[in-house]
Amino acid sequence: MAVRQDASTGEMVDDGNSEQSSIDPTMMEIKVYSPYQIYFDEQAYSISAVNDTGPFDILKGHHRFLTLLSPCELLIRAQNGEEKIKISRGVMYVKEDKVTVFLDV
């Protein structure tokens, strides 16, 4: 149940937007896809990749970020283990705990 404070009365009220209790607050949404295939579309703890300046990690709470990815192996750490996706190039966009990786562009 999502609760907010009513501006006119100051009373705490249910805003009708209920969050799923199964969502881990330390996880973020990660989607890795190309025009013809979805490689990963789940919640995860982090994603690691490489751009022209070197290797980097994205964790929950990361600021907005846009980068071209170098050939590398994406490493996604999810609840059920690690997943590796070998890429030749791509674009990564991070916004509000959502990471989108476009491959084959």
pLDDT in tens, 15-38: 555 444 456 788 999 999 999 999
Q: pLDDT at residue 3 above 90? A: no
Q: So what's the pLDDT on residue 105?
A: 78
Q: Which residue has the tokens 């190309």?
A: 34
Q: In a 3-state reduction of DSSP, which class is residue 101?
A: strand
If one compares 97 and 20, the residue with the highest pLDDT of the two is 97
For residue 43 the two structure tokens come to: 């919640």
Q: Could you tell me the residue ranges of all domains in the chain?
A: 22-103
Q: Which fold has domain 22-103?
A: ATP Synthase; domain 1 (2.60.15)
If one compares 1 and 2, the residue with the highest pLDDT of the two is 2
Q: Measured between alpha carbons, how far is 52 from 80 in angstroms, rounded to an integer?
A: 30
pTM of the predicted structure, to 2 decimals = 0.76
